Amino acid sequence: MRLSFLALISVACARNTTVTWFLEQNNLAATPDLPRTSSATVRYFGDFDTREECAAACVADKTCFTFKYHLKTFGEPWAKGCYGHLGEWQLKLVAWKGIESGTLGAPPPPAPCKSEFDCLLNGQCVAGVCRCYSGWKGLSCGSLDLLPLKSKLAPSYGRPPSAEAPGLASWGASVIQDPKNKSRWHMFVAEMSGACGLDSWFRNSVIVHATADTPYGPFKREQELMPYFAHEPVLLTLPGGGYVIYKIGCGDGAITGSEGTGLVGPCTGCSNGTTEGLCPGCAQSYEQVCQDVLYSDSLEGPWARKNLTLKPWDWQRLNLGLESHAPIVFPNGTVLTFTRAWGSSEPSSQSPIFLVKADHWEGPYSLFRDDWAPAPVFPFGVEDSFMWRDARGNFHALFHAWDKIGGHAYSKDGLRWEYASVRAYSTEAELEDGGSVTYWRRERPRLIFDEFGEPTHLINGASYRGGATPTGDWSFTLVQGIRTSRNVLVV
């Protein structure tokens, strides 16, 4: 028999619980396989007109501690549905419009770890306590152990707008040490051309090769490798020698389209590293047209464009082709990577992530079979994928996650993944003077590793607004050090 709303409220008052809401967040722990169904760990409480009724339904069930409510605007068949997670306190949030999640009371103290999975494969479980590997920290080894920054505005590539020099904006990069010269570092970075800022990225971004004496930079521009529009450079070192740069964009002068505005070519009128006025992006079709990479035998170049083969490929589901690149290559040349869709036919149209494979870096690339790996492997809002295999053979990935900024996932086999509830990093960073800085945006995560395969530096595209610093869309590429050889368990 369904309880009335007043009866549910009276039960809630008797239990004296406190509800904490998370707006536009989906609690995956309270998500069944199908709408309006229950499972061993998820209970469908029914359809309600308000989120308060949903919260009261969770309170009335003494086994429910976290829940979620689908707003009417979410659409059928999930609209107005209320679902609670049963059993132990679990909350796994991802950004999702039209869903509001909640918790009852405070989370319980963390339980002792039982295996390396409780340490997110970033540490070993010893006597119920996670002992983190180099570069990681936290009760579950879920956060990067980042070193303080020297300055809140210390671009590794980019130049803040000032009266002394015009601003130069950039947005994320791949960085690698020269194998023949340990004091030379190479960066392949997305630079905003035409004195524009980040808002112009969809038209004005170019790919640039830059070098420095240290991974922190500042990096000096060497040459432009690909004109606008070209973005998201991702470097892959091939096992037999040579290098590949995955990217998006055609480098055709941004003539691919302008979302119905009639604009052809780059945005103009920018100044000092900031965008002036509206700068509409190229039409989404550019992704499908230019499925190619840059290839070179040397980090110094020359670089040549090489076409990739996508076959068989479901362009309706995977409507961007290869995007949000995260390639790793095995000794036999096989490539494993992610791609994402946007506004596709997927039930989750906002940036679901799929797992893709190829026998060779030139292809053919294809989606993993559903019985081998879930499709999508991450059915929620993440982007800017970066995948790697650690020194112990485990697979990891970082993302720009709209709910947690630095999303982290981990896997034993690279096919079946777990998404961590702990953020790997945030928009806030400590400074060497004891202060801190909170960036407006911090995305495009990538890592640099030492010769033992342990992380030493985190790379991001970042922007900052505050004080006497730029208030427009100027952005830069940030390299932050990672504390190493701390709390390392030798095995």
**What are the pLDDT digits (tens) for 251-299?**
988 876 665 566 778 988 898 898 988 888 777 777 778 899 999 999 9
Task: Report whether pLDDT(232) > 90.
Answer: yes
pLDDT digits (tens, 9 = 90+) for 91-144: 888 778 889 999 998 777 777 999 999 999 999 999 999 999 999 999 999 999
Instruction: Provide the 8-state DSSP code for 219.
Output: P
Residue given tokens 């290559």 in the structure block:
329
Percent residues over pLDDT 70 in the chain: 90
**Which of the listed residues 85, 104, 123 is the one where a domain comes to its end?**
104
Task: Report whether pLDDT(208) > 60.
Answer: yes
Instruction: Let me know if residue 9 belongs to a domain.
Output: yes
Q: Which amino acid makes up residue 381?
A: G
CB 280 within 8 A of CB 263: yes
156: left (phi over 0), alpha (psi -120 to 50) or beta: alpha
Instruction: Calculate mean pLDDT across residues 39-60.
Output: 94
Instruction: Let me know if residue 141 belongs to a domain.
Output: no
List the beta strands (DSSP E) in 105-169.
123-126, 129-132, 136-137, 143-144
Instruction: Let me know if residue 440 belongs to a domain.
Output: yes
What is d(CA 491, CA 486) in angstroms, rounded to the nearest whole number?
14
Tokens at residue 127, please?
């006597």
CB 367 within 8 A of CB 343: no
Name the burial class of residue 487, with classes exposed (0-12), middle (13-18) and buried (19+) by CB atoms within 10 angstroms of its CB: middle
Q: Which amino acid makes up residue 228?
A: Y
Task: Report whether pLDDT(26) > 90.
Answer: no
3-state secondary structure of 385: strand
Q: Identify the bridge partners of residue 209 per DSSP, sorted by sequence position.
A: 188, 223
Q: Which amino acid makes up residue 454?
A: E
> Phi and psi for 292 in degrees, rounded to 5?
-145, 175
Structural domains counted in the chain: 2
Instruction: Let me know if residue 490 belongs to a domain.
Output: no
> Phi and psi for 14 in degrees, rounded to 5?
-65, -35
Instruction: Let me know if residue 165 belongs to a domain.
Output: yes
What is d(CA 443, CA 271) in angstroms, rounded to the nearest whole number?
24
Of 11-25, 183-197, 294-308, least confident by mean pLDDT is 11-25
Task: Report whether pLDDT(2) > 70.
Answer: no
Give the pLDDT score at 12.
Answer: 39
Highest mean pLDDT: which range of 9-23, 187-201, 334-348? 187-201
Please tell me whether residues 273 and 362 are part of one structural domain. yes
- Sequence-ordered list of residues with C-beta below 8 angstroms from that of 85, at least 6 positions apart, any chain: 27, 29, 30, 41, 42, 64, 65, 66, 67, 91
Query: Dmax of the chain from CA atoms?
Result: 74
Please tell me whether residues 404 and 459 are part of one structural domain. yes
Task: Report whether pLDDT(489) > 90.
Answer: no
What is d(CA 447, CA 146) in angstroms, rounded to the nearest whole number?
12
- Sequence-ordered list of residues with C-beta below 8 angstroms from that of 197, at least 6 positions apart, any chain: 167, 169, 270, 273, 274, 275, 472, 473, 474, 475
Please tell me whether residues 277 and 199 are part of one structural domain. yes
**H/E stretch holding 15:** helix 5-15
Please tell me whether residues 423 and 310 are part of one structural domain. yes
- Other C-beta atoms closer than 10 Å to the C-beta of 16 total 8
CB 194 within 8 A of CB 204: yes
pLDDT digits (tens, 9 = 90+) for 416-429: 999 998 899 999 89
- Sequence-ordered list of residues with C-beta below 8 angstroms from that of 337, at least 6 positions apart, any chain: 246, 322, 325, 326, 327, 328, 355, 356, 357, 358, 365, 385, 387
CB 218 within 8 A of CB 156: yes
Percent residues over pLDDT 90 in the chain: 60
What is d(CA 447, CA 177) in angstroms, rounded to the nearest whole number?
12
| Cα distance from N-terminal residue to C-terminal residue, the chain | 57
Give the pLDDT score at 404.
Answer: 63
- Sequence-ordered list of residues with C-beta below 8 angstroms from that of 119, at least 6 positions apart, any chain: 113, 125, 130, 131, 132, 140, 141
Host domain of residue 25:
5-104
> Inter-axis angle of helices 51-60 and 5-15, to 10 degrees?
60
Please tell me whether residues 182 and 272 are part of one structural domain. yes
What is d(CA 64, CA 87) in angstroms, rounded to the nearest whole number?
7
Instruction: Calculate mean pLDDT across residues 20-35.
Output: 88
Query: What's the pTM?
Result: 0.82
From residue 218, how far is each of 154, 167, 185, 214 by CA, in Å?
8, 14, 11, 8
Strands 418-419 and 136-137, bridge-based pairing: unpaired
Give the pLDDT score at 366.
Answer: 94
Please tell me whether residues 100 and 151 are part of one structural domain. no
- Binned at pLDDT 50, 70 and 90, residue 8 comes out as very low
pLDDT digits (tens, 9 = 90+) for 295-353: 999 999 999 999 999 988 988 888 889 999 999 999 999 999 999 988 776 656 578 89
Task: Report whether pLDDT(468) > 60.
Answer: no
Residue given tokens 């309170």 in the structure block:
59
**403 or 487, which is more confident:** 403
Please tell me whether residues 258 and 175 are part of one structural domain. yes
CATH number at residue 154: 2.115.10.20
Instruction: Let me know if residue 142 belongs to a domain.
Output: no
Please tell me whether residues 234 and 375 are part of one structural domain. yes
45: left (phi over 0), alpha (psi -120 to 50) or beta: alpha
CB 274 within 8 A of CB 196: yes
Please tell me whether residues 282 and 186 are part of one structural domain. yes
Please tell me whether residues 94 and 236 are part of one structural domain. no
Give the pLDDT score at 7.
Answer: 36
Give the pLDDT score at 326.
Answer: 94
Q: Which amino acid makes up residue 287?
A: E
Please tell me whether residues 470 and 339 are part of one structural domain. yes
Instruction: Let me know if residue 137 belongs to a domain.
Output: no
**Which of the listed residues 53, 85, 104 is the one where a domain comes to its end?**
104
Please tell me whether residues 399 and 259 are part of one structural domain. yes
Of 78-87, 223-232, 376-385, 465-474, least confident by mean pLDDT is 465-474
**Which of the listed residues 70, 104, 138 is the one where a domain comes to its end?**
104
Instruction: Let me know if residue 279 belongs to a domain.
Output: yes
Q: Chain-wide mean pLDDT for the chain?
A: 88
CATH number at residue 53: 3.50.4.10
